[in-house]
């Protein structure tokens, strides 16, 4: 099933909204930065009210229009998603008994009405929105390919698990980069997974999709060589983030690799303040917790080795091995690649305790 494409008035409206997003990211951001350079508290500067209004409201306008465009076709889209291809190269495993956790179901992340899980229309709204929201910087999902190509150490991985795979745009490049590996994607959202499965099948990419929580994947101990998570961890409350990392450690084989792409503080007061504000304006309630966490230290405490965080430039060459942040005059996300390995020999005591407590359901 093809995703709807905005045409006619929808296209004109969305082009206008994207134009406003560009204006926010370039002219207004630069103005705010200029005023900040001359001194003063950021949220008291003259350009700040327009800056924050544009960021929140263009996002709302985009979702509303996409929703109006797609919702009338919900039944047809739902039926399309339920029609599975006759011959599959991959597979889809939904769990109708899975209860969505409150932190997930009660938050409209990115201000998207109904989130990405409450129906077929929602996943298509998300898919079309994701194509246009990055202002043409993610055409053909270049960003996701770049992460896989530059952010994941080249090894021979036999089994790969993508946590929070969405509709598969972070999972498909794993198949291209590691064609010999078994690739598995998990997500909480059934409609996302159905769309992920359809798109992967259409493209001939063998991926097994499961409806499971990243904090309790149900896979066997030591059954993957690589665990990835793209744009997932900033959507998790702190205790769940810990659980997810412990779970990743559990399912990794000794010597296995964790590779996460998410946001980080840059140490630049202006950028960090604006990014935290972005979290609030874009309904990302757990982002401040992530920003307060020393992820490298947490990974080491949990029993990972060689934990590192490296800036990632999605508009340039991807991973920045020299550790410097890209400098740009326009607003851009502070992406970071977080990498760590599971020790090849024994787990540290702390990690063993966490794994044990998690299994006992006490964390």
Name 12's Cβ contacts closer than 8 Å, sequence gap at least 6: none
Given the rule CB under 6 A, which of 83-91, 172-180, 218-226, 228-236 is the region that contacts ligand SAM?
A: 228-236
Single residue of 166, 191, 279, 318 touching ligand SAM by CB under 6 A: 166
Q: Helix, strand, coil % (nearest 5) of the chain? A: 50, 15, 35
CA max distance for the chain: 64
Nearer to ligand SAM, 55 or 284 (CB): 284
Judged by CB under 6 A, the number of residues near ligand SAM is: 19
Single residue of 151, 164, 191, 279 touching ligand SAM by CB under 6 A: 164
The radius of gyration of the chain's CA atoms, rounded to the nearest angstrom, is: 20
Would you state the structure tokens that stand for residue 330, as one six-digit string?
A: 């326009």
Single residue of 235, 262, 284, 309 touching ligand SAM by CB under 6 A: 235
Q: Give me the least distance between CB of 110 and ligand SAM, in Å please.
A: 7
Would you state the structure tokens that stand for residue 159, as one six-digit string?
A: 């089994």
Single residue of 58, 59, 112, 189 touching ligand SAM by CB under 6 A: 189
Distance CA 78, CA 80 (A): 5
Nearer to ligand SAM, 28 or 241 (CB): 241
Pattern 112-141, binding to ligand SAM, x per CB under 6 A?
Answer: ----x-------------------------
Distance CA 108, CA 233 (A): 16
Regarding 200 and contact with ligand SAM (CB under 6 A), the answer is no
Single residue of 58, 59, 198, 230 touching ligand SAM by CB under 6 A: 230
Regarding 170 and contact with ligand SAM (CB under 6 A), the answer is yes
The DSSP secondary structure of 257-324, one letter per residue, reads EEEEEEE---S-HHHHHHHHHHHHHTT-TTHHHHHHS-HHHHHHHHT-EEEEEEEEETTTTEE-TT-P
Regarding 278 and contact with ligand SAM (CB under 6 A), the answer is no
Single residue of 174, 181, 190, 231 touching ligand SAM by CB under 6 A: 231
> Which sign, positive or negative, has the C-alpha torsion 52, 54, 59, 61?
positive
Distance CA 138, CA 226 (A): 24
Single residue of 17, 188, 287, 290 touching ligand SAM by CB under 6 A: 188
Residues in touch with ligand SAM (CB under 6 A): 104, 116, 164-166, 169-170, 186-189, 192, 213-215, 230-232, 235
């Amino acid at each position: 099933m093809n995703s709807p494409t905005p045409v006619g008035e929808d296209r004109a409206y969305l082009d206008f909204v994207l134009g406003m997003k560009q204006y926010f990211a370039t002219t207004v951001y630069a103005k705010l930065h200029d005023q900040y350079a001359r001194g003063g508290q950021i949220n008291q500067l003259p350009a700040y009210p327009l800056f924050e209004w544009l960021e929140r409201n263009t996002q709302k306008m985009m979702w509303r229009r996409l929703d109006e465009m797609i919702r009338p076709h919900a039944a047809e889209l739902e039926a399309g998603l339920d029609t599975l291809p006759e011959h599959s190269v991959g597979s889809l495993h939904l769990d109708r008994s899975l209860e969505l956790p409150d932190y997930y179901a009660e938050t409209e992340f990115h201000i998207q009405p109904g989130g990405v899980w409450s129906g077929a229309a929602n996943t298509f709204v998300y898919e079309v929105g994701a194509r246009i929201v990055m202002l043409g910087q993610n055409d053909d999902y270049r960003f996701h390919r770049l992460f896989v190509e530059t952010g994941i150490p080249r090894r021979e991985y036999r089994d790969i698990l993508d946590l929070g795979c969405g509709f598969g745009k972070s999972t498909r490049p794993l198949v291209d980069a590691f064609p010999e590996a078994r690739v598995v994607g998990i997500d909480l959202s059934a409609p996302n997974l159905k769309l992920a499965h359809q798109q992967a099948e259409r493209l001939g990419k063998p991926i097994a999709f499961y409806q499971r929580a990243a904090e309790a994947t149900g896979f066997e101990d030591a059954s993957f060589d690589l665990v990835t998570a793209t744009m997932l961890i900033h959507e998790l409350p702190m205790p769940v983030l810990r659980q997810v990392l412990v779970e990743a450690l559990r399912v990794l084989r000794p010597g296995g690799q964790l590779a996460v792409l998410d946001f980080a503080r840059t140490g630049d007061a202006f950028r960090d303040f604006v990014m935290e504000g972005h979290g609030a304006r874009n309904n990302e309630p757990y982002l401040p917790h992530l920003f307060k966490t020393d992820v490298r230290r947490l990974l080491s405490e949990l029993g990972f080795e060689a934990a590192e965080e490296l800036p990632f430039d999605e508009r340039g060459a991807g991973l920045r091995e020299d550790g410097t942040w890209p400098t740009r005059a326009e607003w851009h996300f502070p992406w970071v690649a977080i990498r760590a390995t599971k020790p090849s020999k024994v787990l540290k005591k702390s990690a063993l305790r966490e794994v044990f407590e998690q299994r006992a359901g006490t964390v």
